[in-house]
Amino acid sequence: MKHKQTLSSAVACVVLSLLLLTVLYFSSGIHWEAAQPFTRTFRSIVELRKVYDIKYNSYYIAGVTQDSIYLGNLTAPLHAIGMDNESLDTQHIEIKVKNLPKLSLRSTRLSVRDRHFFISDGSNRTIITGHTGTWKMLNTYIVDEYFNDFEPIDSSFFAVRAYGTNRENILGTISARKDNIVQFSDHLLEKQIDGIFCTDGMLHYVPYFDNLVYVYYYRNEYIVFGKALNLVARSNTLDTISFAQIESHKLVSSNTYTMTRPPVLVNRNTCVWDRSLLINSPSLSKNENREAFRTSSVIDVYDLQTRTYSFSFRIADYNGQKLKSFTVSGNTLIALFDHYFIAYTITM
Amino acid sequence: MNIDSGSMQAKIKNMIVEAICFCLILLFMYAATSKVLDLERFTVQIGQSRLLTEYSAILAWAVPLIEVAVSIMLAISRLRHVGLYASFTLMLLFTGYIALVLTSDGRIPCSCGGVIEMLDWKQHLVFNASFVVLSFVGIVLYSSAKYPQAIRDPA
C-alpha cells in the first residue's frame, strides 16, 4: 500500500508543477501576439532562388555594391564571403593585411561601399580601408573619438554613432581626408529614457539620395539626415509605439547598463534599397493572417522620397528559423537564417 | 527472503538515498550561493525573461531561499521525505521552465548561477532532467527502505 501512496504523492508533485508552469505561461501573454491597430497591404514580390549552407552562424551582412553582396564573419574579421547578385556565384575572401593594428574581436566589423572595404573597430578608434579588387589593406586611420557604430559613405568619409557626454548615444561623421575631422550632433537622436537603449537603432547610408537614415529599434521613428548632420525629417513607421517601452538599470558590480525587462522591439531589422527603406517589423497588424505571421517575417517598405508606407511582403521562415538579417542588391534579396543564407529574386 | 537480507537491502537503499540527497544539497546550495553572491545580476537576468519578468523582484529572493530551505530539509533525516518531494517538484519546475523557454523564446539568458550557466539550453535540459530522475529514485528508495515490508515479496 505504501508505494502506491508514494506514487500518488509523486504524481501530485508533477500535477502541481504543471499547474504552476501553465499559469506562468498564460499569465505572461507570450502565447498570444496582440494585433496592433494598423493595417498592411501585402504583395508577394520575392521568389526563392538558392539556399547556401555557410556552416557558421557568425556571418553578418557587410555591405552591397551594384553587383555583389558581401558577408563578414564575427569570429574571423579578415574573412568574408562575396556573392555575385546575377550568377549567385560565391567566393571566399581573405583580407591581406600588414602590421595589423590592435583590434578587439567584439567590436570589429567589416563594411563594404562601392569598390572599397572597411574594417572598423570603434573601441580601438581604428578604421582600415582598401579596395575590393585586391582585398589588400591600404590605409589605417586611428581617429580621435571612440565610436560604437560605423557606416561608410565613401572611401574616406564615414558616419558613426558614439557615446557623447553622459555616455549617451550621438551621431556624427568622420572625415579621413583632412586630419580625421570628427563632427558630432547631439540633436539628431532624441533621448526618451536613458539615452543609450532608448536611442539604439540602425544607421544606413542612402546612396540614392546621398544622405543618411537612422531607424530606432524601440520606437516607430526613423530620422533622415544629411552628411553635414543637418536634420532632413523625422518620420513614423506604421507601428503605434512612439515612446520606447524599455526599462534599464546600471549594474553596480560590472559598471554596465543592462535592460531589466524584455524590451518591446518595434523595428527589428532594416536595409536600404534604392529609394526605399525596408523594415522587418515584429508587430502583427490588425488585418493580418496569424498563421502566416507566425511562420514568416514581415518586411514593410517605405518610400524615402515621400517618407510614406508603400506595401509589405513576407519572407518565410527557413527550418523553423526567422530571418536574422537581410539586404538587397540589384533585384536580388538575400536573407541570413542561422547558418544559411538564401537568395531571392525580386519580381515587381 | 529473510529478515537479515531485508535489513541489508534497506541499509544499501538508505546509503543510496543519502548519496542522492548529498548530490541534491550540493546542487541547490551551489546554485543558491552563486545567485545570492550576485543578486543584482540575477534579478536583471530573470527580468529579461518574458515568462518571469512580472515576478522578478520576488523570485530573485524566493528561488535561492527555497533552494536553501530544501537543502536543509534534505539534510535533516526527519524532514528528508518532504525534502525529496520538494526537490522533485523544484527540479520539475526548473526543467519545465527550460522547456517553455526553448519552445517560445530561445534567447533568454540562463540565470541558474555559476558554471551551470555555461551549459547550452539543450544540455541544460538533460542536466535538469537527470536530477528529476535522481530525486524520483530517491523518493522511491526512501519509501521502500523505510517501509521494507511494503515491497517484500509476500511469498
Cell of A153: 559613405
List the grid coordinates of A227.
552628411
3-class DSSP state for residue B69? Answer: helix
Answer whether A21 sits within 8 Å of B47, measured CB to CB.
Answer: no
Tell me if B140 and A6 make a contact (CB, 8 A cut-off). yes
User: Is this complex scored with an ipTM above 0.85?
Assistant: no
Rounded Cα gap, residues A87 and A336, in angstroms: 19
The reported pLDDT for the residue numbered B1 is 47
3-state secondary structure of B153: coil
* Contact with chain B for residue A176, Cβ under 8 A: no
Q: How far is B52 from chain A (nearest CA, A)?
A: 8
For the entire predicted model, the pTM comes to 0.81
Give B74→chain A minimum CA distance, Å. 17
Describe chain B by its helix, strand, coil percentages, rounded to 5: 85, 0, 15
Q: B155 is written with which cell numbers?
A: 511469498
Distance from CA of A79 to the nearest CA of B (A): 27
Across A185-194, A326-335, B128-137, B145-154, least confident range: B145-154
Distance from CA of A17 to the nearest CA of B (A): 6
B152, pLDDT greater than 60: no
CB-nearest to A25 from B44, B89, B100 is B100
Cβ separation B89–A253 shorter than 8 A: no
- Looking at residue B48, the DSSP 8-state letter turns out to be T
Tell me, what's the pLDDT at A155? Answer: 92
Is the pLDDT reported for residue B154 higher than 80? no
Q: How far apart are CA A292 and CA A315, in angstroms?
A: 10
pLDDT number for residue A2: 67
Local confidence pLDDT in tens for the 348 residues of chain A: 567 888 899 999 999 999 999 998 888 877 777 788 899 999 999 999 999 999 999 999 999 998 999 999 999 999 999 999 889 999 999 999 888 888 999 999 999 999 999 999 999 999 999 999 999 999 999 998 999 999 999 999 999 999 988 889 999 999 988 777 889 998 999 999 989 999 999 999 999 999 999 999 999 999 999 999 999 999 999 999 999 998 888 877 777 788 888 888 999 999 999 999 999 999 999 889 989 998 999 999 999 999 999 999 999 999 988 999 999 998 999 999 989 999 999 987
Contact check, Cβ <8 Å, B88/A13: yes
Contact A210, A232 (CB under 8 A): no
Q: Which of B51, B139, B144 sits opposite A28 (nearest CB)?
A: B51
For B147, the closest chain A residue by CA position comes to A2
SS3 A338: coil
- pLDDT of A29 reads 75
Check residue A72 and give its pLDDT: 96
State the pLDDT confidence band at B108, using cuts at 50, 70 and 90: low
Amino acid type, A215: V
A254 vs B: CB within 8 A: yes
pLDDT at A250: 80
pLDDT of B107: 57
Say if the Cβ atoms of B52 and A18 lie within 8 Å. Answer: no
pLDDT at position B109 over 70: no
